Structure 1
Amino acid sequence: MAEQVQEQQVKKVKRHLEGWRMALLPLKSVLLWEQQWHPCAIFASVSILFFSIWLMDLNALATISVVGLLLNFLDFIVPIISNTICGPNSWTGQKEKLFEEICRSIVIHYNKLLSNIKSFYSMRDNSPAMYYIISITMLCILAWMASSINNIFLLYIFSTVVLLWPGIQQQGIFNSLLSLIHKAPKVVLKSD
């Protein structure tokens, strides 16, 4: 049953991303760091975008509007350019399989995110004390960070981490750091 639901979700995502399919293949390559220069390209692109936003010195509402305009423009122009550059004859079975793999990955990660959110909110019924401790702590930390650090800079860091995260996972960098932390010598404090 769950398999059928996931297949329906994959078909729905494929329909929604049909115009983007030619752009998604190289984008996947960049996000997974298949070339050594890909992390630098991601970092540079995000940096240029946020540097431009910083130079415009817009208020929050204008910034949201500019980002929305940019996203709408990209959503309009990318399918046109990709269909012009790559005709329908260049779409092969291997590319279709890769496109379906991308859509399946999107569905899997989306469902995992929803599951994590549902399990967090289910803690409210199962373990209310833990739910409120985690919620209040995280909200206090976010409030402190938002009041201490420039919001555009926070969004820049968040965007950079989100875009670099698939490559970090693919390359095993995060697991390597965790294993180094676990291998670190343990300090034992002796009490007199």
Structure 2
Amino acid sequence: MADVSSSQVPEQVDTGVSELQRLKQDLHAYRELILPLNKVLEWEKTHYPAILLGGITLLFAIIWYLEPSVLTTLSLIGISLCVVDFVVPTLSSYLFSSAEWTVVQERQFEGICVRVLNAKTHMSNIKNALLILKRDKPKAYLLLMMGAFAVLAWIGSLLDNLLLVYLLVAFLVMVPGLRKHGILQKVTGQLSEAISKLLKKKEKSAPKSKTN
């Protein structure tokens, strides 16, 4: 899967503005908040992972204690997003000026936007791969999807809903740091290597079973 670089971002035909520039414009009002948040997510200091997990654990502990309904939870999330969407740009315009924004910060901000576009590209590639598999090998696609959903249903029957959401949110929040420090690449590499070895063993054993 090819990564998106600042020089290889597809251009919008109707506006002539690159996808990267459009994303930078959309996030322009939040850039002063995005940079320090990115430092925390990427574990630039050793205590940042503990802070992230501690904050998430505290939040879910409050939810577990109060036991709000699903509608109340969604409403509170919506209210929080609306407040952030209004407060952050307003405070940024008062506290920060464009003259204080340096070239180094602009490069860091652009790098974050590039990684967001890379994630979007990876998700699109996975979707396209599944569509191609469905078109070319429908039986394999059906077995893959049925197996994946069966595993998810089995996991869901073992764990509480709130615990599942907590584990999912904790994993997603820790992904940037795991990726930055090479832990995620190491684990995925080991998994892909184990799967490839398993497939090679099956291919070697298949002719023997036919001859017998």
Same fold (TM over 0.5): yes
Identify the residue that residue 14 of structure 1 maps to in structure 2: 24
Deviation at 1:176, TM superposition (A): 4.7
1:78 aligned partner, one-letter code: V
Deviation at 1:179, TM superposition (A): 7.5
TM-score of the pair, normalised by structure 1: 0.84
Identify the residue that residue 188 of structure 1 maps to in structure 2: none
Identify the residue that residue 5 of structure 1 maps to in structure 2: 11
- When residues 148 and 178 of structure 1 are mapped into structure 2, their CA distance, relative to the original with a 3 A threshold, is closer
- When residues 64 and 31 of structure 1 are mapped into structure 2, their CA distance, relative to the original with a 3 A threshold, is same
Q: Is the 8 A contact 2:175 2:184 kept in 1?
A: no
Instruction: Flag the structure with larger Rg.
Output: 2
SS at match of 1:34: coil
1:20-39 pair list within 5 angstroms: 20-39=30-49
- Corresponding position: 1:171 with 2:204: no
Listed one character per residue, the Cα deviations across residues 66-120 of structure 1 (whole Å, up to 9, x for unaligned) are 2222222222222223333323321112211211111111112111111111211
Q: Could you tell me how far apart the structure 2 residues matched to 1:63 and 1:110 are?
A: 27
1:27 aligned partner, one-letter code: L
Q: Could you tell me how far apart the structure 2 residues matched to 1:16 and 1:74 are?
A: 15
Identify the residue that residue 187 of structure 1 maps to in structure 2: none
Q: Is the 8 A contact 2:35 2:108 kept in 1?
A: yes
**Greater relative contact order: 1 or 2 (C-alpha under 8 angstroms, separation 6 or more)?**
1
Q: Which blocks of at least 5 consecutive residues in structure 2 are unaligned?
A: 1-7, 194-212
Q: Could you tell me how far apart the structure 2 residues matched to 1:77 and 1:95 are?
A: 22
Aligned residues: 183
Counterpart of 2:135 (choices 118, 125, 132) is 125
Deviation at 1:61, TM superposition (A): 2.3
Q: Could you tell me how far apart the structure 2 residues matched to 1:3 and 1:174 are?
A: 25
SS at match of 2:169: helix
Deviation at 1:153, TM superposition (A): 1.1
Tell me how large the CA RMSD over aligned residues is: 2.5
Q: Could you tell me how far apart the structure 2 residues matched to 1:145 and 1:152 are?
A: 13
1:90-129 pair list within 5 angstroms: 90-129=100-139
Identify the residue that residue 185 of structure 1 maps to in structure 2: none
Identify the residue that residue 92 of structure 2 maps to in structure 1: 82
